[in-house]
Amino acid sequence: MSTTTKIINAPSLANCSFLEMGRQVEELVQGGAHWFHIDIMDGHYVPNLCFPVRIVGELKQRYPGVDIDVHLMVTDPMSYLPLLKQSKADWVSFHMDSTNFTRRTLVTIREMGMKAGVVINPSQPISVIEPVIGFLDYVVLMTVEPGYAGQKFMLDSLPRVTELDELRQKHGVNFLISIDGGVDYQNAIECARRGAEVYVTGIYIVFQQEDGIRAACQRFEETLTDVLKTQAMNSPIAQS
């Protein structure tokens, strides 16, 4: 069992309604969200398009205290970095198989003052990160195939969360584990038990909920925090 104590709700703005976006973003902030997940696609790495980099600058200008986490689904991640830095992105991740220069890209992101991460696809082994394990601030585990919001969580991702947690313990590193794709209450609770910290949330958690975006955000954080508290109380160390 992992010792994770923090939970970060990272709403994926790809799930916003374009016509309602400003209001929905405001509700996310009022609901306590302080981390936004922004999908950037180039139509080549994945067969879809999402946000332009410009959204990062606009969000940081209005909400400087919110961490902007950019998920690059592009074939040339390095070429996006100067503009992301200029836009004040906080976290930048790119896919392990999108560049031959993973280490150089991670180092460049950090040199630019941003936090660096890689994204692991469902068909890649977790061990793929081992050569760059010392250069990671976070790892995004895809729990759907990248490219579209609203897909179903792949259940065989659960043991992969454990594998990631074990890998960071083995190497004595402390990158955050972020779960991206189809996150709902059931699988989020299971991922929390296995050590994940960041939850990219969409229509199953914060959007399209009966109690509205603001209340749904609060409900999610409270529920997951309770799960972790209970887990900590039941741990062998707490009982000894």
- The residues binding Zn ion (CB under 5 A) are 39, 71, 180
Token readout for 235 is 């741990």
What burial letters (b/e) apply to 113-134, b meaning 16+ CB within 10 Å?
A: ebbbbbbbeeebebeebeebbe
The interface region with ligand DX5, picked from 17-25, 81-89, 199-207, 215-223 by CB under 6 A, is 199-207
From the list ligand DX5, Zn ion, none, partner contacted by residue 203 (C-beta under 5 to 8 A by kind): ligand DX5
Applying CB under 6 A, among 31, 77, 117, 202 the residue interacting with ligand DX5 is: 202
User: With CB cut-offs between 5 and 8 Å by kind, which of Zn ion, ligand DX5, none does residue 14 bind?
Assistant: ligand DX5
Using rule CB under 6 A, residue 209 touches ligand DX5: no
Q: Are the C-beta atoms of 94 and 119 separated by less than 8 Å?
A: yes
Query: Which of the stretches 78-86, 88-96, 147-155, 208-216 binds ligand DX5 when contact is defined by CB under 6 A?
Result: 147-155
DSSP code per residue over 127-175? GGGGGGGGG-SEEEEESS-TT-SSPPP-GGGHHHHHHHHHHHHHHT---
Q: Which residue in this structure is represented by tokens 């009022």?
A: 30
Residue 142's nearest CA partner among 91, 89, 94, 101 is: 94
- Is the separation of the CB atoms in 178 and 196 below 8 Å? yes
Could you give the string, one character per residue 25-64, with x where binding to ligand DX5 holds by CB under 6 A and - elsewhere? ------------x-x-------------------------
Concerning whether 180 is annotated as a catalytic residue, the answer is: yes
- Least separation in angstroms between residue 96's CB and ligand DX5 is 14
Q: Which is nearer to ligand DX5, 185 or 232 (CB)?
A: 185
Of these, 31, 77, 147, 195, which contacts ligand DX5 (CB under 6 A)? 147
- Enumerate the β-bridge partners of residue 8: 198
Spatial strand order of the sheet with 176-180 comes to 8-11, 198-201, 176-180, 138-142, 115-120, 91-95, 67-73, 35-41
What minimum distance in Å lies between the beta carbon of 143 and ligand DX5? 8
CB of 196 to Zn ion, least distance (A): 14
CA 86 – CA 131 distance, rounded (Å):
29
Pick the piece of the chain touching ligand DX5 (CB under 6 A) from 10-18, 22-30, 59-67, 79-87: 10-18
The question of whether 42 is a catalytic residue gets the answer no
Place of tokens 């991922």: 191
Read off the tokens for 191.
Answer: 């991922």
Q: Which residues bind ligand DX5 (CB under 6 A)?
A: 12, 14-15, 37, 39, 71, 144, 146-151, 180-183, 200, 202-203
Supply the residues annotated as catalytic.
39, 180
